[in-house]
Structures are given as structure tokens and as C-alpha cells.
Amino acid sequence: MHRSLVSRLLALVAITLFITACGSNPAAITSDPSPVAPLKGSETTTTNPRDEQRLAMHPSTVGDIDAHRDVPFYQISGTIDPQGLTWQAQQTLTFVNHSGAALDRLYFRLYPNLPDMGGDLSISSAQINGVAALVQYEADRYIARLDFPAPIAIDATTTVTLDFVTTVPNEGGADLFGTLYFDGQSISLPTAYPLLANTQGGDWDLAIPNSNGDLVTSPVAMYDVTTTIPNTYTLVSTGTTTTTSPTETTQTVRVVSGLQRDFMLFVTSNPYVSAVVDGTTINMYYPNNDIDSANLALGYASAALRVFNTTIGQYPYNELDMVTSNSGSFEGIEYPGILLYSQDYFNTQPDFEDLVVHEVGHQWFYNVIGNDVQQRAWVDESLTTYTQVLYADAVHGIDAGRKQIQMFSTDYDQIRDTSDDLKLDSPIDTIGEDTYSLITYYKGALYIDAIRSQIGEQAFAQALKTYYADNRYAIVDGTAFVAAAQSACDCDIQPLYNQWVLGE
Ligand SMILES: [Zn+2]
């Protein structure tokens, strides 16, 4: 009975902080939203740390936290040493067994141990519900397995505590996936903690991901992450900073994520520029003191956010960060609430605007609406590539939108009707590295444009909104957009799906 009163008080604190955040840089917020003791499984606890997750949400979506209270909850506390290339931390994961089957073991994915990442994640100790447990590595240490003394019942809550150290590479970036890296200015830590593997009906998805595309498919979760860093660096991450506690040489930063599919940490000595769009703060941390390029990128991202808020639906978080890395391996990669761009590519390429817009679009398609990025990468890439058209239509005019389509068509024509031309519904493992983007991005976007042509402007506009409203925080396949489009047009687009997606 204490809980409801305290919750309401915390909600008021949250709303007050949102107002503050809209008028200033959230990284500078140091007010403490009444710290609470970690939940230890006791019903007599007066408050729940999940309440503070509201601090990361846009004012219009704060209620989404209460609607998703039993998603996995990661509480991580540790220290990043950029020069030492390490993140040493303790993670406590609290989760409810919604898999539909009793579980006699748990699997965690250790992405830094993938050969393409070139890093290391080692777990030094583990506890399940407070009892010491043995960690067994599988799949060349990509998987960590913990056996339970007794099976976890369906809908039972379990707590797993893991002590771990993640080490990142600082050379050879061009030969690696390149996202886990220290480039001399910034240490980048994407999915650098033990991430619970996906399970359904007792089956675990332990497949080693193909690094031609995105790596992480995961249900939405909440993250509460406290990190100590040298005070010569700034912490950037998924979510929003709630408190910063400085000492003479360090600062300890606490971040809450809100509802996100993954958590990315980034620590940098680069400066930043900011803008506020529709209540969301966008921060661009830029390299080489190139503030002109930073402002350009910030402008593209601001316009994109405004367009997608209107045409698709409100971005549900109060912050979006953009950072660069100089590993030399990729152009841009989306993470929940944070976009990673290649320093090489940063305003040196003619399609830099498209790249910025594309990664912003992924926040709607990949993060808020999830899909299996290895088995059905086209589901998010087709719509995300199409956000470049939505942006061009709104910012540069309808002719610019058609020019985007023409570019996609020219690219896809390289393989159209050849033996390399696969149906959209092709797992990443079956697509060649050279043709992956032609099929998944460009053929995918042309499929979306074919739907637009058939159902017309008004129905297409409604389909985007319905798709987003109906599937936020879910994991979908390609049939969800068909359903949204058909409900908007009251017509049959199944033949298009059969042709483009199923190859029939
Ligand atoms: Zn993409």
C-alpha cells in the first residue's frame, strides 16, 4: 500500500524532470530523483526501481512503463577504463518466465566473444536467486549456460547476478565488425553485457549471428545502469542520465533506458551539439572539432525525427544520441536510442544525409517495432530504407522522393531477374554479402512502394500509423504490415506479398 502513493510521487518527480530536460541538456541534469534501494524480492519494499524508467520516456509515452512492468529488468553497475580497454561490472537480471515452458537452464549471449567483434566477455561469478551457480561456455564462448538446481516454473520470477569484464580491441578495426572498439577518443560498448538469449516453448535461439547484417534480436527490456568513468570523458548511452556524481578524478553516472531492445554504452572525449525536437533532445557528439558537419548531421536528424513523428508516430523516448567511431569498418549502425556513424563517413560522402536519416528511421523499425534481424532482416530494412523516401517527400519535395525510388530501382536492377534475385523472405545466411543490401534494402523498399502505388496516398499514410500503433514494443514478421495496409485500404494486397516476399 505504500507502493501506489510513492509511485504517484515518483511520477510527479518524473514529469518535473521532463520539463527541465526539454529546456536543457539532459546530460547536465544532476538533480536526484529520490534514489531507491534495489528491489530484493520482498513485497514490503516501499517502491520499485522500475518506476524511474519513466524518466527516459517521452511525456506522451510515460504510461508505457506501467503497461510493460514485467519485461526483463537489467541492473548493471560498473567501471569503464577507456585506456585499459575494459568495462568491469556486476549485472542483476530480474525476469519472469514467459517462455511458455518450465526452464531447467538459462543461456546468455556474449556478443564481444564473436570472432568478428575481436573482444572478450568473461563472467567471473554467477548467482541464481542468491545461490552460487556454475557458468559453462558453449559455441566458442558466444554462449554462457547456467543450469538450475530446480526448473523455473512458467510465470515464476528469477534473479540472476553475473560479475563480468568486457575487453574491447583498439586496433585492426577495419577487419572487424568494428562497433566494439576504442579509437583513441571514444570507447564503444554495444551489447557488451550478458544478454539473455531468446526462448520460446522451451526452445532456445543460440544460432551464431551472421555479421553481414544486424546481430541482435531481443524483446524490449528495461536497463538501469550505473557507470564510473574518468572525468575527462562523457558517458553517452541508450536512455537518459538521471544522476551524475563527480569526484576529483571520476564521475559516476546513472542511466535509465525506458523500454528498449538492447543497451549501448559509449564513453567519449568528443564535444557535442544539441537540439530539441517535439520534446526529444538530440545530441550529436562529433570528431575532429568539425562543428559544421555536426550541425549538418544534427539538422538532418532533427528534420527526420519531426517527419517520422508526424508520418509514423511519436518517438517514445526523451533522448536520441548520435556518435562516431573511427574503426573504419561500417557506415552507420542503429542501437536503441543511440546511432553510431563511421568517422570516415562523417560528412565526407554525398549520401551522408541519407545515412543519417536511415539510422534515425531504424528507431521506429528495429527498435520500437522489432523483428528477427537474422531470419527476416528485410522487415525492418525495407521500411527503414523507405523512411528515406518519407523524409525526401517531406523535406525536399515529392520529386526528391521519386528520385530515391529511382536510385533503389537502379541498384536492384543489377540483379533483378537473375539467379541472385532472391525473395525478400530469405534468411541472411542464404544471401550473398554483395547482394544483401540490394535485396534487403532496395528490393524491400520497392516492395513498400508497390504497396503505396496500389493502395494510394491516403491509405498508405494510414497504414504507416496503424502499423506503428498496433505493434509498438512487439516483435513482428512481414504479415503485420500487410494487415495494417489492408485495414487502411479495405483491399487485398496479398498478391504483392506473395510476389515480392514469398517469391511466388
Ligand atoms: Zn538499415
Same domain, 325 and 206: yes
CA distances to 148, 177, 223, 235 from 113, rounded to whole Å, are: 24, 12, 22, 23
- Residue 467 sits in a domain of what CATH number? 1.10.390.10
pLDDT at 250: 98
Q: Are residues 52 and 103 in the same domain?
A: no
**Whether residue 353 sits in one domain with residue 289:** yes
Is residue 371 domain-resident?
A: no
User: What are φ and ψ of residue 192, in 5° steps?
Assistant: -100, 15
C-alpha of residue 428 to centroid of ligand 1, in Å: 14
Asked if 49 and 94 touch (Cβ cutoff 8 Å), the reply is no
Question: Does residue 285 sit in the same domain as residue 168?
Answer: yes
Q: Is beta strand 222-230 parallel, antiparallel or unpaired with respect to 135-138?
A: unpaired
pLDDT for 46: 60
Q: Which stretches does DSSP call E strand in 257-302? A: 264-268, 272-277, 280-285
Distance from the alpha carbon of residue 384 to the mean position of ligand 1, in angstroms: 6
CA of 385 to the centre of ligand 1 (A): 7
Q: Residue 359 C-alpha to ligand 1 middle, in angstroms?
A: 6
Radius of gyration of the chain (CA): 22
Output the DSSP codes for 54-84: GGGB-GGGTHHHHHTTTS-EEEEEEEEETTT
Q: Residue 57 falls within a domain, yes or no?
A: yes
Q: What is the pLDDT of residues 446-462, one digit of tens each?
A: 999 999 999 999 999 99
Q: How far apart are CA 80 and CA 461, in angstroms?
A: 45
Query: Which triple of cell numbers denotes residue 413?
Result: 536492377
Q: Do residues 353 and 412 share a domain?
A: no
Q: Does residue 370 fall inside a structural domain?
A: no
pTM for the model stands at: 0.90
Verify that 12 and 134 share a domain, yes or no.
no
Domain count, the chain: 3
Q: How far apart are CA 82 and CA 230, in angstroms?
A: 8
The pLDDT of residue 47 is 79
Give the distance (Å) from ligand 1 centre to CA of residue 394.
Answer: 20
Whether 108 and 54 share a structural domain: no
| C-alpha span between 300 and 239 (Å, rounded) | 21
In this structure, is residue 420 part of a structural domain? yes
Residue at 368 is within a domain: no
CB atoms within 10 A of CB 246: 11
Q: Which domain holds residue 490?
A: 377-501
Q: How far is the CA of 370 from the centre of ligand 1 (A)?
A: 13
480: left (phi over 0), alpha (psi -120 to 50) or beta: alpha
Q: What is the pLDDT of residue 53?
A: 98
Cα(217) to ligand 1 centroid in Å equals 14
191 and 334 fall within a common domain = yes
Q: What is the Cα–Cα distance from 365 to 385, expressed in whole angstroms?
A: 10
Parallel, antiparallel or unpaired: strands 240-246 and 250-256: antiparallel
Domain boundary among 32, 48, 67: 67
Give residue 468 CA to ligand 1 midpoint distance, Å. Answer: 18
Both 342 and 290 in a single domain? yes
Choose one of 51, 67, 83: the last residue of a domain.
Answer: 67
Residue with cell 538469449: 197
Q: How is residue 253 written as a grid cell?
A: 553516472
Do 301 and 442 fall into the same domain? no
Query: Do residue 37 and residue 79 come from a single domain?
Result: no
- On whether both 103 and 231 belong to a single domain, the answer is yes
Q: How many CA atoms lie within 13 A of 376 on its CB side?
A: 17
CA of residue 360 to ligand 1 center, whole Å: 9
100 alpha carbon – ligand 1 mean position (Å) = 32
The parts of the chain modelled with pLDDT lower than 50 are 1-43
Going by the DSSP 8-state scheme, the letter that residue 50 receives in this structure is: G
Please report how many Cα atoms fall inside a 13 Å half-sphere around the Cα of residue 134, on the Cβ side: 5
DSSP class of residue 424 equals S
Q: Is 367 a member of any domain?
A: no
Distance 120 CA to ligand 1 centre (A): 26
Residue 117 within a domain: yes
Q: What is the pLDDT of residue 350?
A: 86
Residue 305 to residue 253: CA distance in whole angstroms: 27
Would you state the torsion angle of the CA atoms of residues 405, 347, 179, 189, taken in this order, to the nearest 10 degrees? -120
Is 486 among the domain residues?
yes
Domain-terminating residue out of 301, 331, 361: 361
